[in-house]
């Protein structure tokens, strides 16, 4: 109740004011738990002892080694992975901490964890890329329509 929350009205931006907790990042993290990361029987079946995750896709991203865990069904605090389709490192969305003033996205390791649980996952482009695709689609339709009208 004392936290300062940031609710971004424009999802294509990634700037979170310093000193504020990013609601998007927290909601994304909690959705990961809803989908089974740290909470499902499938997850628990892949936990070795209490501190290592042995899912094949996750281990492949960790050099073939089990991925360290932290209590509560999270990747170990400070675990880093790349953002899908990039070489950009980011702290994973499913570790137990959130740095105020920052935004987290699902990383390759977060998606691998979902894959290990049986979800058919395909990382999607960030919102700004959706706008580009939508804009190009509209441009293509407009050109097609203009050409069609000329032929009448």
Pick the residue with more confidence: 39 or 149?
A: 39
- 143 in helix, strand or coil? helix
pLDDT band at 135 (very low <50, low <70, confident <90, very high): low
For the beta sheet containing 47-48, the strands, ordered from the edge strand earlier in sequence to the opposite edge, are 47-48, 52-53, 67-70, 74-75
pLDDT digits (tens, 9 = 90+) for 11-61: 777 889 999 999 999 999 999 999 999 999 999 999 998 899 999 999 999
Mean pLDDT (the chain) is 86
Angle between helices 108-116 and 23-34 (to 10 degrees): 20
Distance CA 51, CA 120 (A): 25
Return the pLDDT at 103. 92
Q: Which of 119, 120, 121, 116 is nearest to 46 (CA)?
A: 116
Q: Which of 47, 112, 118 is nearest to 82 (CA)?
A: 112
Q: Distances from the Cα of 73 to the Cαs of 62, 70, 126, in angstroms?
A: 18, 7, 26
Residue 149 has pLDDT above 90, yes or no: no
Residue 150 has pLDDT above 60, yes or no: no
């Amino acid at each position: 109740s004392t936290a300062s929350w940031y609710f971004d009205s424009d999802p294509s931006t990634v700037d979170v004011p310093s000193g504020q907790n990013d609601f998007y990042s927290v909601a994304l993290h909690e959705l990961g738990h809803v989908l089974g990361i740290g909470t499902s029987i499938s997850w628990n079946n892949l936990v070795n002892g209490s501190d290592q995750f042995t899912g094949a896709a996750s281990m492949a991203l960790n050099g073939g080694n089990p991925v360290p865990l932290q209590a509560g069904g999270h990747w170990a605090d400070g675990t880093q992975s790349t953002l899908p389709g990039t070489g950009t490192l980011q702290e994973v969305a499913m570790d137990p901490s959130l740095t105020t003033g920052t935004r987290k996205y699902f990383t390759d390791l977060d998606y691998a964890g979902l894959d290990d649980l049986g979800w058919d996952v395909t990382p999607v482009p960030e919102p700004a890329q959706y706008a580009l695709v939508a804009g190009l689609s509209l441009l293509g339709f407009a050109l097609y329509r203009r050409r069609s009208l000329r032929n009448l």
